[in-house]
Chains A and B, each alone.
Chain A
Amino acid sequence: MYWNREIETAGRNEIEKLQLDRLNRAIEGASKTSYYGKIFRENGVNASGIKSIKELSLLPFTTKNDLRLSYPDGMVAVARGEIVRMHASSGTTGKPTVIFYTARDISEWADLVARCMTATGTTRDDVFQNMMSYGLFTGGLGLHYGAERLGAMVIPSATGNSLRQIQLIQDFRTSVIHITPSYSLHLVEVIEQNGINPCDLGIKKAYLGAEPYSEETRTKIENQWGLDAYNSYGLSEMNGPGVAFECENKDGMHVWEDFYIPEIINPDTGETLPDGEEGELVLTHINREAMPIIRYRTRDLTRIIPEPCGCGRTHRRIERIKGRTDDMLIVGGVNVFPSQIESVLMKFPEVGNNYQIVLDRQNNLDRINIKVELYSKMFHGELKELKALNQRLVEELRALIVVNPRIELLEPGSLPPSTGKAVRVIDNRKI
Chain B
Amino acid sequence: MPQQVSVFAENKPGKIDRITAILEKNDINIRAITISDSGDYGIIKLLLDKPSEGCDALNADGIASTLKDIVAVKIQDRPGGLHSASSILASHGINVEDAYGFTIRESNEAVFVFQVENIQKTERILRDEGFPVLSDKELYLI
* Contact assessment for A383 and B43 in the assembled complex, using a CB-CB cutoff below 8 Å: yes
Interface residues on A, range: 10 to 19
Residues in B neighbouring A387, C-beta threshold 8 A: 38
* Contact assessment for A383 and B38 in the assembled complex, using a CB-CB cutoff below 8 Å: yes
Residues in B neighbouring A410, C-beta threshold 8 A: 10, 41
Residues in B neighbouring A375, C-beta threshold 8 A: 64
* Contact assessment for B64 and A376 in the assembled complex, using a CB-CB cutoff below 8 Å: yes
Given contacts A376-B65, A382-B6, 6 further A-B contacts (CB under 8 A): A381-B45, A381-B66, A386-B43, A409-B41, A411-B9, A411-B10
Q: Tell whether B62 is near chain A: CB-to-CB under 8 Å.
A: yes
| Interface SS majority for chain B | strand
| Contacting residues of chain A (383-425) with chain B, CB-CB under 8 angstroms | 383, 386-387, 408-414
Taken together as a complex, chains A and B put the C-alpha atoms of A382 and B9 apart, in Å, by 12
Residues in B neighbouring A381, C-beta threshold 8 A: 6, 43, 45, 66-68
Residues in B neighbouring A379, C-beta threshold 8 A: 6, 8, 64-66
Which residues does A use to contact B, with CB under 8 Å? Answer: 374-376, 379-383, 386-387, 408-414
Taken together as a complex, chains A and B put the C-alpha atoms of A376 and B63 apart, in Å, by 8
CB pairs A–B below 8 angstroms (6 shown):
A379-B64, A381-B67, A408-B40, A409-B41, A413-B62, A414-B10
A352's closest neighbor in chain B, by CB?
Answer: B64
Which residues does B use to contact A, with CB under 8 Å? Answer: 6, 8-10, 36, 38, 40-43, 45, 59, 62-68
A413's closest neighbor in chain B, by CB?
Answer: B62
Query: Chain A nearest CB: distance from B98 CB in Å?
Result: 8
Residues in A neighbouring B45, C-beta threshold 8 A: 381
Partner of A412, one of B6, B38, B43, B64: B64
Residues in B neighbouring A412, C-beta threshold 8 A: 62-64
Taken together as a complex, chains A and B put the C-alpha atoms of A414 and B42 apart, in Å, by 16
* Contact assessment for A386 and B62 in the assembled complex, using a CB-CB cutoff below 8 Å: no
* Contact assessment for A386 and B8 in the assembled complex, using a CB-CB cutoff below 8 Å: yes
Residues in A neighbouring B64, C-beta threshold 8 A: 374-376, 379, 411-412
B41's closest neighbor in chain A, by CB?
Answer: A409
* Contact assessment for B10 and A376 in the assembled complex, using a CB-CB cutoff below 8 Å: no
* Contact assessment for A386 and B59 in the assembled complex, using a CB-CB cutoff below 8 Å: no
Taken together as a complex, chains A and B put the C-alpha atoms of A408 and B63 apart, in Å, by 17
With A411-B8, A414-B10 as known contacts, state yes or no: A382 contacts B43, CB within 8 Å: yes
A409's closest neighbor in chain B, by CB?
Answer: B41
Residues in B neighbouring A411, C-beta threshold 8 A: 8-10, 62-64
Taken together as a complex, chains A and B put the C-alpha atoms of A374 and B6 apart, in Å, by 14
Partner of B38, one of A374, A380, A386, A408: A386
Taken together as a complex, chains A and B put the C-alpha atoms of A381 and B7 apart, in Å, by 7
Taken together as a complex, chains A and B put the C-alpha atoms of A380 and B62 apart, in Å, by 15
Taken together as a complex, chains A and B put the C-alpha atoms of A23 and B8 apart, in Å, by 61
Query: Chain B nearest CB: distance from A16 CB in Å?
Result: 60
Residues in A neighbouring B43, C-beta threshold 8 A: 381-383, 386
Query: Chain B nearest CB: distance from A215 CB in Å?
Result: 38
B67's closest neighbor in chain A, by CB?
Answer: A381
Top 6 A-B residue pairs of the complex, sorted by shortest distance between their CB atoms: A381-B6, A376-B64, A381-B66, A379-B64, A413-B62, A381-B68
B38's closest neighbor in chain A, by CB?
Answer: A383
Query: Chain A nearest CB: distance from B130 CB in Å?
Result: 31
* Contact assessment for A376 and B59 in the assembled complex, using a CB-CB cutoff below 8 Å: yes
Partner of A386, one of B41, B65, B68: B41
Query: Chain B nearest CB: distance from A365 CB in Å?
Result: 20
* Contact assessment for A383 and B10 in the assembled complex, using a CB-CB cutoff below 8 Å: no
Query: Chain A nearest CB: distance from B84 CB in Å?
Result: 28
Query: Chain A nearest CB: distance from B82 CB in Å?
Result: 23
Taken together as a complex, chains A and B put the C-alpha atoms of A381 and B9 apart, in Å, by 11
